[in-house]
Chains A and B, each alone.
Chain A
Amino acid sequence: MIAGLLAWLTSGLFILLLSYSVQRLLRTDRHAVDVIAWLFLLVFTTTLLMLVAGLVGWLRPAPILFLSLAGITMLITIGPAKRVLTGMLGESKALVRASREWWVGLPRWLRILTATAVLLSTARFVFLIWALPPFVWDSLSYHLSNVAHWVQVGRIETFETPVTRIFNPANYEVLATWFSVFVHHDAVIEAAGILPYLLAVLAVYAAARGLGRSRKASLLAALAYGSTPAVIIVATGTKNDIHIAAYYLAALAVVCDLSFRSAGSANRKVLGQLTLLALVLLIALGTKTYILHLAPGLVLIGLLATRSDGRRTNWSLRLKSGWQEFRALTRPQRSALVVLLISGLFLGTFWNLRNWVVTGNPFYPYDVLVAGQTVFEGPESEFRLSVGELAANLESFADKFGDWQDPIRPDLPNTTGWGWFAYAIGLPAVAWAAIRRPRARPLVLGFGLSFLLLMLSTGPSPWNMRFAIWFPALFSLCFAELADGLPPVLPRPAQIGLAGYFTVLLTLNFIGTLNYNRVSAEEFQSMLALPVQERHAALFRDNMPDPYPLANQIVPSQVVLGYNVFGNGFTYPLYRADFAQRIVYIPFSNSDSCEEVADAMEARGTRYLLVAPEHTEDDKIALLRACADSGNIIQERASGLYVVKR
């Protein structure tokens, strides 16, 4: 364990130094963009390091420690990187000084609110990560099953399972691996969403600054977005939606800065921003393909945006400036930038290329239809642009609007998850900004286009608003316009009233997320009664069918556990929190005989077979029950857990 922690710390140091060195290449004349570039690069380099280690079969603490030490040695010995790192201390001091100036320039009440929000949010995140194992459906079905398998075998690879969505682009899962491979445990795996959460919140701040908003209004916007229930809840939900939101908003921040801001244009550095934009969109592509549906909204914002002088941005001029900046770089800098872009391409395309090679379909497991013709076949239903989908989705959205049907929970069932601020202040702010501030209209249209394209293409379901948790940023950005539009001198009662109202709405947003609006005190207590290392996902009874905890208690972790679930069933809880349990898929059909099922189990090296209601087809469960009732080849050891006896 100590060796694992040391390797983890060393790897963290390498990622920190590497990100810092790379970030120097992407520097702009805007601090807010530089900060999001640095946060983003932490995610980017971690994902890249883990993907490379995983593909060469080095997904273990010792090889990663070796890679990290080699990387650190290289960084502190090669000339350009060495020069960058030696300037790190001086830059850190300057950063602290600038942050202090920024902080004291804020109104006192806003400083108190910000400090309180940071403290309470940190406490909430730490407590929930520490107390609960992963429990959100899709993560137990496929996201974390990838992580568990990779950590078990020390390599990133595909494996036999009925859950074909393990083939989905998996940059998030690769990042999550960094949070579990060193200690061979999932105790803090939920923390993989914290950095993207911060990136998303700070991207809202940077976007507001790019729009020309004051620091105070931009911070209010960032706090409001950061308090959105759907965003807070999803951050530790062990799924990739917070990552896509962070990448969409980081790209938005760059687009806003490039297209709305005219101040400082003489000295501005475009190359770093264009590179950042490309990297953000590429990593998003390797995280979830639906970034393709959202990106046209960003393009629209960039095309329609007008600067304070009323002119539109000339993008060909921007690209030309970027090219000139590239040519002015030194040779090592140019090489580093090219390597960076190639790395981005690798992270953006690896999963689809792998699927193409392995299955013949880059978008496996999904069908791809073009003009009604099937171009690629897959076992899952296809995604396509369809007016029928749009109508069904908009109807479903109308039902979800206002969050009337259900509490806001991690999967966002039947809700938007936008929360108090968005509905009470955000909606009027958007309406006001669209009418009174022409420069806000491209934002409204761009967000609207991204949302419509999403609704055109995603399958109608009660849970699909989790794909749109970037949308409430529109409310925050329009609110920043409103906040800056207030008269410079307001009567004191009005100041107190507005600040109090804002604070109350954010507080209501926050308190609704304390237990994911779902976990009872008894469920918390049942987990807290266990040592951290024994808080297995299978033992968290919130949504876990009986066979899972029974298998956890009965089947020794040294033997192989067989399972049969359908394409959306849970597999992750079977691995145990320390990934000690080997598991194997036992395919059989309801027309098989009991002997054939037993043969299939033994052929795959196991005596145990788990099936579970709502996770396994009923006729298969019925077959196993009949086997257990009628013969002595297969016996029911516990509910849903069968054993071969012969």
Chain B
Amino acid sequence: MLSNDRPITKAEAYPLVAASILLALWYATPQLFYSLYSLYEFARLLAPGLLKSVGAGA
């Protein structure tokens, strides 16, 4: 922060936090499933046979 910059006030901070959480929730549909799918496939690779395929061809 430069010397003439004013720190973020509470009046700015709360709307920013609220907007951020709402945007994260909005983005989560459906990206959360895609992110978890990637992790799931990776887990299937590490532990073959333990987890079922959920891909389109399954």
Which A residues contact B (CB, under 8 angstroms)?
A: 212, 214, 308, 402-404, 407-408, 420, 423-425, 427-428, 432, 436-437, 482, 484-488, 501, 505, 508, 511-515, 517, 519-522, 524-525
A515 and B38 contact, CB distance less than 8 A: yes
CB <8 Å contact, A517 and B38: yes
Whether A407 and B24, one on each chain, are in contact in the complex, defined by CB atoms closer than 8 angstroms, is no
| Prevailing SS type, chain B contact patch | helix
CA distance A264 to B37 in the complex (A): 50
Give the distance in Å from the alpha carbon of A614 to the alpha carbon of B12 in the complex.
54
Nearest-Cβ distance from residue B49 to partner chain A, whole angstroms: 10
Q: Total A-B residue pairs with C-beta atoms closer than 8 Å?
A: 96
Q: A214-B1, A425-B20 are in contact. Are A521 and B41 (CB under 8 A)?
A: yes
If A484-B1, A512-B34 touch, whether A427 touches B23 (CB-CB below 8 Å) is: yes
Q: Say whether B48 contacts A408, CB under 8 Å.
A: no
Find chain A residues with CB under 8 A from B55 CB.
520
Given contacts A214-B1, A420-B24, contact A486 B8 (CB under 8 A): yes
Return the contact of A432 from the options B16, B24, B32 (Cβ within 8 A): B16
Report yes or no: B1 in contact with A485, Cβ–Cβ below 8 A. Answer: yes
Minimum C-beta distance from A423 to chain B (A): 4
In the complex, which residue of chain A has the Cβ closest to the Cβ of B31?
A: A403
Interface size class of B (residues with CB under 8 A): 20 to 34
- Which 8 pairs of residues, A with B, have the shortest CB-CB distance? A424-B24, A521-B44, A512-B35, A407-B34, A521-B45, A423-B27, A514-B42, A484-B1
Question: Shortest Cβ distance from A260 into chain B, in angstroms?
Answer: 11
B24 touches A487 (CB 8 A): no
A560 to chain B, nearest CB (A): 36
Sample of 10 A–B contacts (CB below 8 Å): A423-B23, A423-B26, A424-B21, A424-B27, A484-B1, A484-B5, A485-B8, A486-B7, A512-B38, A519-B41
Contacts of B2 in A (CB 8 A): 212, 308
B7 to chain A, nearest CB (A): 5
- A435's nearest neighbour on chain B, judged by CB, is B12
Residue of B4, B42, B48 near A515 (CB, 8 A) is: B42
A308 vs B2: C-alpha distance when bound (angstroms): 8
User: A420-B31, A514-B42 known; 9 other A-B pairs, CB under 8 Å?
Assistant: A403-B31, A407-B31, A424-B21, A425-B20, A484-B5, A486-B7, A512-B35, A517-B37, A521-B45
Q: Which of A427, A437, A520 has the most CB of B within 10 A?
A: A520
In the complex, residue of chain A having the shortest beta-carbon distance to the beta carbon of B13: A486
B23-58 interface with A by 8 A CB criterion: 23-24, 26-27, 29-32, 34-39, 41-42, 44-45, 48, 53, 55
Note all chain B residues with C-beta closer than 8 A to A308. Answer: 2, 4
Closest residue on chain B to residue A522 by CB atoms? B53
Bound form: Cα–Cα A487–B6 in Å: 9
- Whether A520 lies near B27 (C-beta < 8 A) is no
B27 A514 Cβ-Cβ under 8 A: no
Cβ-defined contact, B35 with A424, below 8 A: no
Residue pair A432, B44 in contact (C-beta under 8 Å): no
Chain A proximity of B25: nearest CB distance (Å) = 9
CB–CB A437/B37 < 8 A: no
Q: Report A-chain residues with C-beta under 8 Å of the C-beta of B24.
A: 420, 423-424, 505
Q: How many angstroms between the C-alpha atoms of A402 and B48 in the bound complex?
A: 33
Cα A428 to Cα B19 in complex, Å, equals 7
Residue of A nearest to B44 (CB): A521
CB pair B35 A511 closer than 8 Å: yes
A-chain residues with CB within 8 Å of residue B5 when the two chains form the complex: 437, 484-485
Nearest-neighbor residue (CB-CB) of B5 within chain A:
A485
**Which residue of A214, A432, A520, A525 contacts B12 across the interface (Cβ within 8 Å)?**
A432
> How far, in angstroms, from A522 to B16 measured CA to CA in the complex?
43
Complex contact A403–B27 (CB within 8 A): yes
Q: Which residue of chain B has its CB nearest to the CB of A432? A: B16
Residues of A within 8 Å of B8, CB to CB, are 436, 482, 485-487
Whether B7 lies near A508 (C-beta < 8 A) is: no
Kindly list chain B residues whose C-beta atoms are within 8 Å of the C-beta of A524. 45
| Residue of A501, A511, A521, A525 with most partner-chain B CB within 10 A | A521
Task: Give every chain A residue within 8 A of B29 (Cβ-Cβ).
Answer: 404
Complex Cα distance A432/B32, Å?
A: 26
Partner of A404, one of B19, B21, B30: B30
Q: Chain B residues near A436 (CB, 8 Å)?
A: 8, 12
Contact call A517/B53, Cβ cutoff below 8 A = no
Partner of A512, one of B26, B31, B44: B31
Chain A residues, CB < 8 A from B44: 520-521
**Residue pair B7, A514 in contact (C-beta under 8 Å):** no
B13 to chain A, nearest CB (A): 8
A514 vs B39: C-alpha distance when bound (angstroms): 7
Asked if residues A525 and B48 are in contact (CB atoms below 8 Å), the reply is yes
Residues of A within 8 A of B1 (CB): 214, 484-485
- Determine the distance from Cα of A427 to Cα of B16 in the docked complex, in whole angstroms: 10
Residues from chain B with a CB closer than 8 A to the CB of A501 are 20
Closest Cβ–Cβ distance, residue B31 to chain A (whole Å): 6
- Would you give the shortest CB distance from B54 to chain A, in whole angstroms? 10
- Nearest Cβ on chain A to B27's Cβ, whole angstroms: 4
A521:B53 contact, CB within 8 angstroms: yes
With a cutoff of 8 Å between Cβ atoms, the chain A residues found around residue B31 in the complex are: 403, 407-408, 420, 508, 512
Complex Cα distance, B1 from A484, in Å, reads 5
In the complex, how many angstroms separate the beta carbon of B4 from the nearest chain A beta carbon? 8
Residues of B within 8 A of A424 (CB): 20-21, 23-24, 27
On chain A, the residues within 8 Å of B42 by CB distance are: 511, 514-515, 521
Contact A517 B34 (CB under 8 A): yes
Q: How far is the CA of A408 from the CA of B20 in the complex (A)?
A: 21
Q: In the bound complex, do residue A515 and residue B41 qualify as a contact, i.e. CB atoms below 8 Å apart?
A: yes
A505 to B28, CA, bound (A): 11
User: How many Å from the CB of A277 to the closest CB on chain B?
Assistant: 25
Separation of A51 and B53 alpha carbons in the complex (Å): 46
A353 vs chain B, min Cβ distance (A): 44
Q: Complex: how many Å from CA A214 to CA B42? A: 37
How far apart sit A487 and B32, CA to CA, in the bound complex (Å)?
A: 32
Residue of A402, A488, A508, A520 touching B41 (CB-CB under 8 A): A520
Instruction: Report the bound CA distance from A501 to B21 in whole Å.
Output: 10
Alpha-carbon distance A404/B33, docked complex (angstroms): 11
In the complex, what residues of B have CB within 8 A of residue A505's CB? 24
The residue that A520 contacts in the complex, of B20, B23, B53, with Cβ under 8 A, is B53
